Amino acid sequence: MNAPITIAGSLNMDFVVQVERLPQPGETVLGGGFVTLPGGKGANQACAAGRLGGRVRMLGRVGDDVFGRQLVESLARAGVDTSTVRVSAATASGVALIFVETGGQNQIVVASGANGLLSPEDVEMELAAGEGLLLVQLETPLATTERAVALASRRGMTVVLDPAPARPLSDALLAQVSLLTPNESEAMVLLERRGASVSLAEAPEIARALLKRGPRGVILKLGEKGAFLADGSGGQHFPGFEVTAVDATAAGDAFAGALGVALAEGRPIAEAIPFANAAAALSVTRLGAQASMPSRPEVDALLASRPRS
């Protein structure tokens, strides 16, 4: 089994600057290395899934510019079907400005550009005969994400929602989601609570509170602590992998793409989450978003290195 994976979302060119520490409000700091790298949450997830052997197509928009062409070419090299990436002639491609400090933490500002033009009509046309899985995020208009989720849910597709960047979402939307995959800070926003971190002891309660909002399952991403699953059968913690972090950018996207591939292959969720944890762990050991996405042999090797309990 290798079900198709459709990813509706953003494509951005990332401008990445390495810094010793992240700036405070109003502060200027001197940066080190600078690179431009393909990114965007939707495209990152598509790249991750493509490199891991998934049957992936990308729904999105880019500008008629050099960045747009580079973004499409990057996905094509990862084996992603880009025939449904549309070109918006009058709008620039999306860009993200990223500061990465020693240790891997980052600050990101996104200028959406053509991503803001991805419309409900775009996804309605492309999901007319939907099957398999749909992966969505929140870097494109919310109305478009809502339409995509509604269409996919009606057609019986597995819908995985990565609620990033964090924003409030309706119960009506969440009730149509198969798996909700927030990180700690995103979970707190969805629950209208303060704080940006969740301890392992707090994870079961947070995940169950999100489950009550409607999704059929919740995977709470806990960074180096791994992930906690809450669904109708109960809850379970899946430990992370110990690695040396260089850049945390797109770790959540690596997780999402890998999770989609594992589910598309028919793996049970208890196998899919460790697979996704391994992909995310490998991604933080390298600089960049799509440039950091691991290959299938790398993920399989990391999984095999962990003793079976």
- Residues with a catalytic annotation lie at 253
Three-state SS letters, 154-201: HCCCEEEECCCCCCCCCHHHHCCCCEECCEHHHHHHHCCCCCCCCCCC
CA distances from 105 to 100, 187, 211, 284 (A): 6, 19, 29, 10
Distance CA 9, CA 42 (A): 4
Question: Does residue 97 sit in helix, strand or coil?
Answer: strand
Question: Does residue 106 sit in helix, strand or coil?
Answer: strand
> What are the strands of the beta sheet with 55-63, ordered from one edge?
85-88, 55-63, 4-8, 133-136, 158-161, 179-180, 217-221, 227-231, 234-238
Name residue 218's beta-bridge partners. Answer: 180, 230
Three-state SS letters, 17-86: EEECCCCCCCCCCCEEEEEEEEECHHHHHHHHHHHCCCEEEEEEEEECCHHHHHHHHHHHHCCCECCCEE
